[in-house]
Amino acid sequence: MPVHYHHKNQNEISFTPIYALDSEVRTLPRDKMPDRILDPKQASQFITDQLLLDGQAKLNLATFVTTWMEPEAAQLIADCANKNIIDKDEYPQTTEIEKRCINIIANLWHAPQSLSALGCSTVGSSEAAMLAGLALLFNWRKKRLSKNLDISHPNLVMGINVQVCWEKFCRYFDVEPKFVPMEGDRRMLTPDQIPSYVDENTIGVIAVMGSTQDGAYEPVEAISKSLDEMYQNTGLDIKIHVDAASGGFFAPFVQPDIKWDFRVDRVVSINASGHKYGLVYPGIGWVLWRHSDNLPEELVFKVNYLGGEMPTFSLNFSRSGAQVVGQYYQFIRLGYEGYSAVHKGCAEIATYLSSEIENLGVFDLLTYGNDLPVFVFKLKEEIDNYSVFDISTQLRKYGWQLPAYSFPKNLEDVSVLRIVVRNGFDRDLAAMLIDHLKDEVANLSGRSKSVTDISATMGQSFHH
Ligand SMILES: Cc1ncc(COP(=O)(O)O)c(C=O)c1O
C-alpha cells in the first residue's frame, strides 16, 4: 500500500453526462469531497471508467494474489461484505466457519492430533507474520527472564530473500534482523549457514516455502536438523516459523511428500495467504501454532463488550468476514481433488513456459517452476545491448506485466524477470506470451544499447 501524500492543489476532474441521465456537464474535485450528491449510477460509472486504465488482472504475471473466483464465490463474498468478523457473538455462523477453516488447515499441515493446534485468520500473510513474530519474541523473553538473562538484544535469523513483512516485523518491534545474504548459486537460507547466525538472542528462524525472489522452497527439514545439532552442541533450543505465504496452500497438493510443516518437530508456527494459492480474493491470511504453549497468553486479549467473552489475537479489530466465507467455499467446493487439479495445472504451465523460454536461447533459467509455479530467468552474460528491464517495458505494450528486478545482497548485479503462474493462466495465454517474448527479443537484439533507465530499480530488492 503506497503512503499517499496530501496534495494542496485541488484540481478538478471533468465529468461528462453519461447515458443521458444528466444533461449538465459537471466537474468533481479530485481531492476534495464534492459539495453535491451524485446519482448512484453516475458515481459507479464514473469510477468504473476511471479504473479502465488499471492493468488486466489475468495478464498480471507479477502477483501471487488470486485474480479470479467463480461467480458463486464472488456472490457469497458480496453477501458477507457487511459482516464484521470481530462480532463473533452476532455472527456465530461466520465464527463457526472460521473455526472449521482453522481445523481444515491444521489437518492439511499435519498438526499432531495429540496436541491442539490453534490459529486465527488475518488480513494476509503480513499480519500473520507480525503475530507469529510476536509470539516468538514473547516466548524468548519469557524464557530468558525466568533465568535472569538479558532481553535487550533479540534477533531473528532468515535469508535475505524473505518478503518485506519480516523486515517490517523487525523494525516495528525492535528486533535485529540477521539476514543471511545470497552468494553465488545460493539464493536462500541453507542449513550450513545456521551455526554462524544463530545465537542465544535468536528468537527464532524463519524458513520460507517458497521464496518471493525465485519461487524456490527453503529446506525446512534440513534447517531443522541443523538446529537439532546446534541444540546438542550448545543447548540452544531455537524454533522455526515457516512463512508458507504461497507454499502453504500449494505444497500439500503438488509435493505432499516434502516435510516442511508440523511434521517437522521444530516448526512451532506457520502462516499462509488464503489470497494466494488458497484461491480467495484478497485479503485473507492464516496463522497457526502447533500448541497453545507456542502462543503466549499475554498476546491474546479477551473482550466482552460485544456479548460473550471472546479471545482475539490480531493487530486490527474490525474486518469483513467475507474472505473467510470465500475460503470455506473454496475448501468445500474444490476439496483435495480440486486444489490438486488447479495447482498441478499451474505447475504444468510453469514448467512448459520455463522450458520454452530456455529454448529461446537468450536466457539462463535460475528456477524452472518446480517448487511453486514461479520461475526467474536472466539474460545470458554476453547480451549487453538490452536488459531484462527493457523486456519488461516492451511487454507492457501487449498488456503483460512481468516484473524485472535485481536480487538483494550479495547478488545485486543479477537482474531477472519473474513469472508467477496462477489459476486461470492457460496454455493459450502461455503460448501468446512466448510469441510476444520472442518478437520483443528479436526487436531488442537489433538495438545498440539498453534504453530503460534502471537506476531507480538497481540495488533494490523486489518485494511483491
Ligand atoms: C513469502 C511471502 N511472505 C509474506 C508475503 C506477504 O503476504 P501478504 O501479501 O499476504 O501480506 C508474501 C507476499 O508475496 C510472500 O511471498
* Ligand 1 atom nearest to 282, measured from its CA: 10
pTM metric for this prediction:
0.93
Measured CA to CA, the distance from residue 460 to residue 267 in angstroms comes to 31
What's the pLDDT band for 117 if we cut at 50, 70, 90?
confident
Domain locations in the chain as residue ranges: 1-42, 75-330
Residue type, 380: K
Q: Report the atom number in ligand 1 closest to the C-alpha of 244.
A: 1
Residue 2 CA, distance from chain mean position: 16
CB 285 within 8 A of CB 126: yes
DSSP line for 116-132: --EEEEESSHHHHHHHH
Decide: 219 in ligand 1 pocket, CB within 6 A.
no
Of ligand 1's atoms, which has the minimum distance to the CA of residue 285? Answer: 10
CA distances from 106 to 16, 132, 245, 259, 332 (A): 53, 16, 15, 15, 15
The per-residue pLDDT for 57 is 86
More confident residue, 428 or 6: 428
Per-residue pLDDT at 24: 63
64 lines ligand 1 (CB under 6 A): yes
* 345-367: pLDDT as tens digits: 999 999 999 999 999 999 999 99
Give the pLDDT confidence score for residue 311 in this predicted structure.
75
* Bridge partners, residue 338, by sequence: none
Cα(372) to centroid of ligand 1, in Å?
A: 13
What average pLDDT does this structure show over 321-339? 98
Alpha-carbon gap, residue 325 to 76, rounded angstroms: 7
Measured CA to CA, the distance from residue 117 to residue 114 in angstroms comes to: 9
Pure H helices in 52-185: 71-79, 92-108, 125-146, 164-172
Q: Which of 60, 163, 211 to mutate to test the pocket of ligand 1 (most atoms within 8 A of CB)?
A: 163
Q: How far is CA 322 from CA 73, 85, 97, 286, in A?
A: 10, 8, 11, 14
Tell whether the torsion through CA atoms of 163, 165, 167 and 169 is positive or negative.
Answer: negative
pLDDT at 39 over 60: yes
Phi, psi of 257 (to 5 degrees): -85, -15
Residue 305 C-alpha cell reads as 463488550
Residue the block writes with cell 520460507? 208
CATH number of this structure's domain 75-330, picked from the four choices 3.40.50.12160, 3.40.50.970, 3.40.640.10, 1.20.1560.10: 3.40.640.10
215 C-alpha to ligand 1 centroid (Å): 12
Share of the chain above pLDDT 70, in %: 91
Query: Strand 363-365 and strand 374-379: pairing?
Result: antiparallel
